């Protein structure tokens, strides 16, 4: 009887361990939203949340890669999104209003002007803006006397 209980306990432990490993590796879909995988540096604010966008795993990877490539320059990426229409924000043709604020480790932040962008172009626009903002901020840092007078750069 003791052997049966011990074997049952061991089998139960292995089944639970196998389930945990399957979820971690991605064999089993937990139903979690891919936007849960966004870098901790990214915050989405406004009337449209990240989960409303229907981000694919590829979208999340692109955003995280763009943020990661500028992590030495920007410490936080705030994305402000509002729906322009009364449509589902995850639909490719839905028009969103996007603005970004890129915080730096200095006393300055880089802000974008609000712009209309369709949902299917949102990720590429974020990537383009981060590259442009990084170039402009790098140029701005070359002039320390100018830095003293500005707390915000609009691009």
pLDDT in tens, 110-121: 999 999 999 999
Please state, in angstroms and rounded to a whole number, the distance separating the CA atoms of residues 68 and 117.
23
At 9, is the pLDDT very low, low, confident or very high (cuts 50, 70, 90)? Answer: low
> So what's the pLDDT on residue 87?
87
At 29, is the pLDDT very low, low, confident or very high (cuts 50, 70, 90)? Answer: very low
pLDDT in tens, 31-47: 444 556 899 999 999 99
> So what's the pLDDT on residue 88?
92
> So what's the pLDDT on residue 31?
40
Bigger pLDDT: 65 or 139?
Answer: 65
Q: Which residues lie below 8 Å from residue 46, measured CB to CB, with a gap of 6+?
A: 80, 81, 82
Strands 42-46 and 74-83: parallel
Please state, in angstroms and rounded to a whole number, the distance separating the CA atoms of residues 7 and 23.
24
Q: Which residues pair with 152 in a beta bridge?
A: 109
pLDDT in tens, 135-153: 999 988 888 777 667 788 8
Q: Which residues pair with 110 in a beta bridge?
A: 102, 153
> So what's the pLDDT on residue 62?
96
Contact of 81 with 98, CB cutoff 8 Å = yes
DSSP state of 102: E
């Amino acid at each position: 009887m003791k052997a049966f209980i011990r074997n049952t306990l061991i089998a139960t432990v292995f089944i639970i361990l196998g389930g945990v490993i399957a979820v971690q590796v991605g064999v089993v879909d937990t139903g979690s939203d891919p936007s849960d995988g966004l870098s901790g540096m990214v915050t989405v604010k406004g009337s449209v949340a990240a989960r409303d966008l229907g981000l694919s795993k590829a979208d999340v990877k692109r955003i995280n890669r763009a943020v990661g490539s500028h992590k030495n320059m920007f410490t936080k990426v705030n994305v402000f999104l509002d729906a322009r229409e009364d449509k589902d924000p995850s639909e490719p043709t839905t028009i969103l209003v996007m603005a970004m604020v890129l915080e730096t480790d200095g006393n300055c932040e880089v802000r974008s002007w609000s712009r209309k962008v369709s949902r299917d172009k949102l990720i590429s626009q974020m990537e383009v803006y981060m590259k442009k903002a990084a170039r402009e901020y790098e140029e701005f840092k070359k002039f320390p006397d100018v830095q003293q007078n500005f707390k915000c750069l609009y691009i």
